[in-house]
Amino acid sequence: MSDLKIYLAAQRQKVNTALEATLVKNDKSPRIVKAMHYSLMAGGKRLRPILCLAAAEAVGGDSENAIPAACALEMLHTYSLIHDDLPAMDDDKLRRGKPTCHVAFDEATAILAGDGLLTLAFEIMAKAASNSADNVRSWLKVIQLIAAGIGYQGMIEGQMRDIASENTKLTPTELEAMHTLKTGALIEASTCAGAILGGGMSEQIEQLKIYARHIGLAFQVTDDILNVEGDPELLGKAVGTDMERHKNTYPALSGLAASKTFSHELIDKALQAIKSFSNKAEPLRAIARYIIARNR
Amino acid sequence: MSDLKIYLAAQRQKVNTALEATLVKNDKSPRIVKAMHYSLMAGGKRLRPILCLAAAEAVGGDSENAIPAACALEMLHTYSLIHDDLPAMDDDKLRRGKPTCHVAFDEATAILAGDGLLTLAFEIMAKAASNSADNVRSWLKVIQLIAAGIGYQGMIEGQMRDIASENTKLTPTELEAMHTLKTGALIEASTCAGAILGGGMSEQIEQLKIYARHIGLAFQVTDDILNVEGDPELLGKAVGTDMERHKNTYPALSGLAASKTFSHELIDKALQAIKSFSNKAEPLRAIARYIIARNR
């Protein structure tokens, strides 16, 4: 576990340095830059970019080539959080232990900051593709893959279903489908993007896709569990809110114990999918275990 | 003028057909698709995609190659309108003669429909780049150009300034800078994208950039004028609203007559910039004249 902590801290540092270089902010920056920077640098786990870099390494590639994708993925994740937190959506006041973007700035600025990060993500990927000597085709695949993952047939549809389901009881199948879209699609895209940019074979990419699908769902189940029994201090956000809002969660659907068993089964399947990978996939394995063991 | 009307109708038809094929909607479509489709197909002028196609032709290229960019540009324009119309921004109820997206659907859906169109625009451009045999580099240039034009240093910054200026009096320089960002950047990107995909020389692209900058500003000045003396029936939206909101407009700053003179000067400069172009640039010339002559 300690090795993983060192690895995650190093990767997080790498991502944060690249993000700071991409979205330069100082005291004189326009308000939009300050808002984008505020949410982007609010101290997330950087799970998606780290998965992207780790997947590039797992297939034997150089993760340096995947840095622009890693940055783009974190921007896309942040954009989705900013918009999800808006009063018209989940109306959340706290995120990563800090006031949400529309609270710290204002609603209009938050909408535009989300738009700005979404747009910037594609700009830096297109730039990386342009600068790439022999990897252009891989980059184009990655841009399409990510766009499809976060688009109206992916993450956005997941958020639509989440909102629509607020006063309806979902079946386990519907709940899983919603999470696969809302959180799973971007986690899957993050992992596959890294694998493609790392030069992975199509079979490896397929296996990593299965890995990602399972850890993505396990991540969501754990989020639901933490909303029941987590520590708000560690989480940086309120707990018990899902129950108050009658949200469809795994604990609500099948109880805490069954949810924990389910999350462990998912991680077992994720590990099984990358069993044939070399020890270069060790970080991916450690991340999978961490996803259900985390307390924040 | 009649020739132009036929040309515009034909190009509009081409764009609409391509848009319908890209975002397929039927009775069973998810709500997000219906919302995206509603705003996208609400009957706009299609100025940006038509400029893109016309610019491709003006440099001697085949406009067919630019169709995906044309579609993407209209999606981006529509996304910006949906978000600008939101209660937290301009709070507009009517657009193109129909209820705005958040009125016809709801606020959360409108935010996500905008996000969906923004994402889809990049997806189809990346796909076009992938499918392109020998035009990949041009496509990557176009994606970057468009992303920069609509991003936090372009259109989004323009919208930020527009909101910030609501209770402040801008100088003519500040007003021009705001419009250059808010409307000009996308019109410029549309024209340049077409020129690049049409295989234009860098000098031609530069000239078209000047053309676009001037018609973009003339378009905005005319919009301001129409908000004073236009016909709400023809415009499909209310008039007199800028004055009510004490908005910074050209007529408010320098009067109606001076605004009209200014718009004519801008069009003269736009025409001057493409003087050396062949008769293949005739549509661009006609569009420039139409921009200030229009009544809707």
DSSP-based helix, strand, coil % in chain B, nearest 5 = 75, 0, 25
Going by their DSSP bridges, the two strands B94-95 and A94-95 should be labelled as unpaired
Give the number of other Cβ atoms within 10 Å of residue A146's Cβ. Answer: 29
CA distances from B75 to A150, A152, B117, B124 (A): 16, 13, 5, 10
Residue A108 distance to chain B (closest CA, Å): 5
Residue B1 has pLDDT above 70, yes or no: no
Element (H, E) at A229: helix A202-229
> Residue B245's pLDDT band (boundaries 50, 70, 90)?
confident
Residues B183-224: tens digit of each pLDDT: 999 999 999 999 999 999 999 999 999 999 999 999 999 999
Print the SS3 string covering B262-284. HHHHHHHHHHHHCCCCCHHHHHH
Contact B106 A88 (CB under 8 A): yes
> Residue B236's pLDDT band (boundaries 50, 70, 90)?
confident
Mutate to test the interface with B, among A29, A130, A140, A145 (most CBs of B within 10 A): A140
3-state DSSP call for residue A174? Answer: helix
pLDDT in tens, chain A (296 residues): 578 899 999 999 999 999 999 999 999 999 999 999 999 999 889 999 999 999 999 999 999 999 999 999 999 999 999 999 999 998 988 887 899 999 999 999 999 999 999 999 999 999 999 999 889 999 999 999 999 999 999 999 999 999 999 888 999 999 999 999 999 999 999 999 999 999 999 999 999 999 999 999 999 999 999 999 888 888 777 788 888 878 889 999 889 999 999 999 999 999 999 999 999 999 999 999 999 888 77
Q: Report how far residue A272's alpha carbon sits from residue A277's, in angstroms, rounded to the nearest whole number.
A: 10
End-to-end CA distance of chain A: 15
Contact B30 A148 (CB under 8 A): no
Q: Report how far residue B129's alpha carbon sits from residue A135's, in angstroms, rounded to the nearest whole number.
A: 14
3-state DSSP call for residue B99? Answer: strand
3-state DSSP call for residue A94? Answer: strand
Q: What is the pLDDT of residue B238?
A: 77
Q: Is A7 on the interface with B (CB under 8 A)?
A: no
Residue B119 distance to chain A (closest CA, Å): 6
Contact in structure between B63 and B179 (CB atoms under 8 Å): no
DSSP string, B230-252: --HHHHTS-SSHHHHTT---HHH
Residues in chain A, overall count: 296
Residues B250-269: tens digit of each pLDDT: 999 889 999 999 999 999 99
The residue type of B282 is E
* Tokens matching residue A113: 């900051």
Q: Report how far residue A214's alpha carbon sits from residue A235's, in angstroms, rounded to the nearest whole number.
A: 22
Domain B2-293 in this protein, CATH class: mainly alpha
Closest by Cβ to A151, choosing from B30, B119, B164: B119
